[in-house]
Amino acid sequence: MPLSYRELTQPTAEPLTLAQAKAHLRVDFTDDDTYITSLITAARQYVEQVTNRAIFNRSILLTLDYFPYPGWNVTYGQTYNTVLSWYYRGLTIRLPKPALVSVESITYLAADGVTSITIDPSKYIVDTTSELGRISPAPGYTWPYQQNYLPGQVRITYTAGTYGDGVEVNTCPQTMIQAMLLLIGHWYEHREAVSELNLKTIPLAVDALLAGETFDSFEW
């Protein structure tokens, strides 16, 4: 199933303050404040792209063409627990951009392709403890069956943020902060897409700093 999602909001705070970035750049004037502020946002977005994470809380919309449903492909001799685990795993919806904070709503289109139906939260279970947030039907319930194929008819709105909201809670690791500072320093000094300088990658720089925080085991 194609994976399609987009961010509905941006975090209300950045991992770095303007003062921290200016201290790193050794800038003590205000002429470039707007530019440096934009570099902070760009560095955060770059780090989020590399690590496949949402650093601070924001609202995300995941759209699916249909609810997941496992096809019956059980081989002889499989135990009951194995079949049951396989079945419910097939029903599970996995949410990109960890970590999952909460699920606001799950809706789908009725057969007329217009009417939006919201699923009662008591009908599904939300797992926020796993590194990749998951949603599965509650016991005794399964996802609605849709007769018509309507692209993007299932819509899941949720909040994702690995290190808090950035205001009251900020647990962003120092390795990410340092990676962002290195990016900001590079972009501040080199403002063109190309350079005549023989630039080198610094050992133990951005990629190495982010390696321990990168989420690279997404499974749909």
pLDDT tens digit sequence for 133-147: 999 999 889 899 877
CA separation for the pair 218, 164 (Å, rounded): 21
Average pLDDT score over the chain: 87
Q: What is the pLDDT of residues 69-118, one digit of tens each?
A: 765 444 444 454 444 555 667 889 999 999 999 999 999 998 888 899 99
Residues 5, 137, 92: CA angle, nearest 5 degrees: 50
* φ/ψ (deg, to 5) at 207: -60, -45
Domain with CATH 1.10.3230.30 in the chain: 4-56+165-211
Chain-centroid distance of CA 151 in Å reads 22
pTM: 0.84
Pair of tokens at residue 50: 């590399």
154 CB-near residues (< 8 Å, 6+ apart): 63, 64, 65, 66, 67, 106, 107, 108
Decide which of 3.40.50.2300, 1.10.3230.30, 2.40.30.10, 3.30.420.40 is the CATH code for 4-56+165-211: 1.10.3230.30
- Between the alpha carbon of residue 175 and those of residues 6, 109, 210, 212, the distances in Å are 26, 43, 7, 9
pLDDT of residue 33: 97
Q: What is the pLDDT of residues 151-202, one digit of tens each?
A: 899 999 999 999 999 999 999 999 999 999 999 999 999 887 776 666 666 6
Instruction: Strands of 51-147 (E only): list them.
Output: 58-64, 93-94, 100-109, 116-118, 124-127, 134-137
Place of tokens 């995300």: 60
pLDDT of residue 108: 94
How many helices (DSSP H) and strands (DSSP E) are in the chain?
A: 5, 8
